[in-house]
Amino acid sequence: MIPPNPPKPGGVRRFSKNLSFWLILALVPIVLLQFVAGGAEQVVEIDASAYYAQLDADNIAKVTVVGGKEITGEFKNRFLVKTVAVKSFKTLLPIANNPEDMKRLEAKGVAIRAAEPRPSLFGVLVSLLPWILILGIWFFLFRQMQAGGNKAFSFGKSKAKLLTGDTPKVTFADVAGADEAKVELHEIIEFLRDPQKFTKLGGRLPKGALLVGPPGTGKTLLARAVAGEAGRPFFSMSGSDFVEMFVGVGASRVRDLFEQGKASAPCIIFIDEIDAVGRHRGAGLGGGHDEREQTLNQLLVEMDGFESNEGVILIAATNRPDVLDPALLRPGRFDRQIVVDSPDLRGREGILKVHVRNKPLAEDVDIHRLARGTPGMAGADLANLVNEAALLAARRGHDKIYMVDFEDAKDRVMLGAERKSLVMREEERRLTAFHEAGHAVCAIRVKGNDPLHKVTIVPRGRALGLAFTLPEDDRVSVTREQIEARLVMAYGGRVSEELIFGRLRVTTGAASDIQQATGIARRYVSQWGLSDAIGPILVGDNEQEVFLGRELTSRRTVSERTAQQVDDEVSRVISEAYNRAMDTVTTHRDLLERIAAALLERETLTRDDIAVLERGETLPPRIEPPTTLASAVPAATVEPRRVPPLLSGAEPATA
């Protein structure tokens, strides 16, 4: 959503200046050497025979022996070499350190001087290279420090991204299902647009707003919508961007972030996942974290310290408000805490309409029905559902997205993908069908259960079969009748296996049902106070791990006698649910067999199919959505489902 940084003005000119500096730095020693060499007398190299001839003619005034082999010197009278009269010469002796050569020079009275070999130009450059690099690096760092560069020494700078006017805008029209949050944030936008409207009555610009809610509910999307609606500079940053391995870097970034905000005021600063830096100070098994606590202290000072940050509004988002430091949550820092919860039925319908408005939909798509069938889903889940439906329709070759695509995509998101590679024997398949039919019968015939939505024996995820219900509307509390009915439905699959196949052929397929029912029964007794024997008190667990200050301790919360009573009550509640499930399945065995037979034939039954079977009627044939000719799959390439033996380790069925 944030465009790449535009090219900085003068970037090419700055690059040319840097390149020119490095070239000059490299050419300086070469020019100096050439200047020194060019200012001296021209030295001509002669062969050894010419040297000995001039020595015998007593025409050599002085010599310098370099390394015992090379001789440089001057003639008494200029010597003609290739039509050029030279004064200085250089030659190489055939034998190094030859005593006879020294005797001949002494006999002629030539002044002799010894010298070490001089380095070549290449050697000089190699020896100067480390100093050139050190000088260049020092100069580069010095310029970066002066200019406040974004590379060297920039780890103390803010990493916030600035949303400019040419950024694609997200407005409140793109956000649905959070009407209360939009109202709260709209007032902040009005503060930014027309602060005089509120300050003339003594109102004060809010310092910050904290968006609190589960993951995927649209907190970050709301912040981006605020930026799009306000038309003001918007700095976006993550809480983890403050924390580094160096102590003090996070505090420096906080200071730099608010300095940028003050320079662009009025503006909005958005910090996503603020719990990464705003955790309670001094908490944790290892004590505090110096870097995080210093960063938090600096953030507290910047938000409400001695200096005022007029015109800078901080918006933060988190899904863990319980771990935030109390000093961060007080008024004057975060004046408002805006709850962005999971959307209700109307909110889910609005979110779905936002995500499907640019997609071709078939006439049978019912957005209201789809919203009713997705309770508890957040905005991110609904966006994923619509995307999965579009992908599924494309794979099937549909020219539009049909309701069956949405239903299958919903099953994929909520239950997992179909495991078509897992094949079962006919005996195992029949057992799975009766197991799921038992769940379906208990869901239909026991008062208090939600309407049965779908029953299938197609393996999904870790389950080999599923029977699940969906509430008619959103629910914030559950009654005792509904809890007991849910326990009966959980044991419907197990009692169906026992009734049809006998106790010796009962399988382990009800393991997850038993685990789920046991958890519900324990909360029924110990947390919800619904047991007549225990009473309406909170019993909890026998032992709890409690964090007190800086140590983790465990303490007993109930006596042994009370714990035994809780276990007895849990066993009683489960036994009553099991017996009710057995009575229900036995009484409605004919419906059980009809549902199981339909599952063996079709593998998946919808709510309408169950209603037809409940009336004792025959299921009508299914109508498949049309496909486009270009993308339709040839019939010869479609393989029927096979029914080989059950894979080892797989559970026969689960609800």
The residues annotated as belonging to the active site are 436
- Which secondary-structure segment (H or E) carries 570? helix 560-587
Distance CA 276, CA 323 (A): 10
Distance CA 220, CA 324 (A): 18
10 secondary structure, DSSP code: T
Between the two ends of the chain, the Cα-to-Cα distance in Å is: 41
Sheet with 336-339: strands ordered across = 161-163, 234-238, 267-272, 312-318, 208-212, 336-339
Distance CA 405, CA 365 (A): 9
Distance CA 418, CA 510 (A): 20
Copy the structure tokens of residue 3. 């465009």
Distance CA 572, CA 564 (A): 12
Distance CA 395, CA 271 (A): 40
Please name the residue ranges forming H helices in 7-159.
11-39, 48-56, 99-107, 121-147
Distance CA 187, CA 198 (A): 10
Longest CA–CA separation in the chain, Å = 140
Instruction: Count CB atoms within 10 A of the CB of residue 177.
Output: 26
Judged on CB neighbours under 10 Å (0-12, 13-18, 19+), 442 is buried
For tokens 């007032």, name the residue.
187
18-51: string of b/e by CB count within 10 Å (b at 16+)? eeeeeeeeeeebeeeeeeeeeeeeeeeebeeeeb
